[in-house]
Amino acid sequence: MRYGLKDRVVFITGASSGIGRACAIEYHRAGSRVVATARSFDKLEALASQLGGDRIVPVVMDVTDPVEREIALRTTRERFGPVDVLVNNAGWASFGTVLRMPDEHFERMLAINFTAPVALIQAVLPEMLERGSGQIVNISSVVGSQAIPRMTTYSAAKAALTALSTGLRMELKGTGVDVLLVAPGSTNTSFFEAAGTVDAKAERLSQASYSPERVARAVVRSSRRRRREITLTLEGKLITVIRRASHRLADAIMYRVAKSTMPELER
């Protein structure tokens, strides 16, 4: 059975840019009521005025701040009602080796990519369970199942979100609440410019990147079809399949990708 998106309340983190922004537009196009959250209010306001009407609300929220999360969810309830679809999209990476990754960068990666999504899930899940319906959409990454060197700590944070999604789906079996795990491959967004830099740097990992709009169309289609997991980009799908056949080969490929796209910086 399909999940109708018309009038659903969709709460999106990291909606000021890239994949999150494109998801806000795509869910809005599907007839949903969208709460677009991020730290950059000017960008959210620009998005809201671009879409127009009363089915989009911009809300400032740093995902790592419990008070801002609470206020954003309260605003959502007051404006639209309880959240039907939570899209945990906000993400951040720092480029560098495990050896030199500062605690502060590692903690920030874990907080944005893993701890905050868990807190938001815990906040919206009770009402979803009461209604016997809802969706948790977690935007992880291909590197959540096949790590890449020099982004190892980011890969680990995404691996945590990937495992959480799988386990949570089993915990929610039979409740009517879906969990959709999205593993994008290289996507053309400002992700690489926004990233931290320790002892490596990358512009992007592949020339064969998807546009954020293409990722968003896949997310919304999968949300409607109640799919469990999607992996995006041909290269992303390939590396996932190769890993199942040979960890050694998958590691060798990712080693070469890192070497050619993430040069070590002078220290």
**Cβ nearer to ligand NAP, comparing 17 with 32:** 17
DSSP annotation of 39 reads: S
Place of tokens 């999106």: 12
Task: Specify whether 154 is catalytic.
Answer: yes
Angle between helices 41-51 and 18-29 (to 10 degrees): 30
Residue 228 contacts residue 162 (beta carbons within 8 Å):
no
Contact criterion met (CB below 8 Å) for 145 and 98: no
Rg (CA), the chain: 18
Task: Fill in the amino acid letter for 163.
Answer: A
134 vs 184 by CB, closer to ligand NAP: 184
CA 204 to chain CA centroid, Å, is 17
- Catalytic residue, chosen from 3, 27, 154, 210, is 154
Binding site for ligand NAP (CB under 6 A): 13-14, 16-20, 38-40, 62-64, 89-92, 112, 139, 141, 184, 186-187, 189-191, 194, 212
Shorter beta-carbon distance to ligand NAP: residue 58 or 134: 58
Residue matched to tokens 């609300």:
57
Cα separation of the two ends of the chain? 55
Least distance in angstroms from the C-beta of 92 to ligand NAP:
5
Contacts (Cβ under 8 Å, ≥6 apart) of 116: 13, 63, 64, 69, 88, 90
Distance of closest approach, residue 187 Cβ to ligand NAP, in angstroms: 4
Q: What are phi and psi of 129, to 5 degrees?
A: -65, -40
Which residue number, 176 or 206, has a Cβ lying nearer to ligand NAP?
206
Tokens encoding 82: 């309880």
Of 85, 261, 251, the closest CA to residue 182 belongs to 85
- Choose between 7 and 70: whose C-beta lies nearer to ligand NAP: 70
> Which residues are known to be catalytic?
154
